[in-house]
Structure 1
C-alpha cells in the first residue's frame, strides 16, 4: 500500500487538488505496479503564516 504525503501551502482550488492526487496516483501506479485503489495520498495544507523560508513567514514574503 503506497502512502504519499504532500505538504503544500493552502490556496489551491479543489479542482487543482483533485488533479494533483489523480496525477500522483497515476505516477505511483505506473512506477510501482500497485493498483490505484491501494494508493493513498494525504494532502497537508499549511497556512502561509505557519510556514517560513529563511526565517520569513510566507505570509510576510513579498
Structure 2
C-alpha cells in the first residue's frame, strides 16, 4: 500500500494540476513497482510560503526579492 505525500507551496496550483499529479504519481508506482492503483494513496499538502524556508529565508521573502530584481 504505497503512500506518497507531495508538499507544494500554495501558489495558484489548479485542481487540474493536482489531478495530474495524483494520476502521474499513481501511474509511476504502477509502472515501476507494479503497485495496484486501488491501494495507492497520494496526498497533496499546500504549504503557505510563510511556512516554507530555503536557507535562512521564507519563500515569501525570496519571491519578493526575485520580483524586485
TM over 0.5: yes
Moved over 6 A (4+): none
- Structure 2 alignment gaps of length 5 or more: none
TM-score calculated relative to the size of structure 1? 0.91
Greater Rg, structure 1 or structure 2? 2
Unaligned runs of 5+ in 1: none
RMSD: 0.9
Q: Tell me which protein shows more helix as a share of its residues.
A: 2
Could you tell me how far 1:21 is from its partner in structure 2? 0.7
Distance (Å, rounded) in 2 between the aligned partners of 1:2 and 1:18: 18
Distance (whole Å) between structure 1 residues aligned to residue 39 and residue 46 of structure 2: 22
In structure 2, the partner of 1:6 is 6
Give 3-state SS (helix, strand or coil) of 2:60's partner: coil
In the superposition, the TM-score normalised over structure 2's length comes to: 0.83
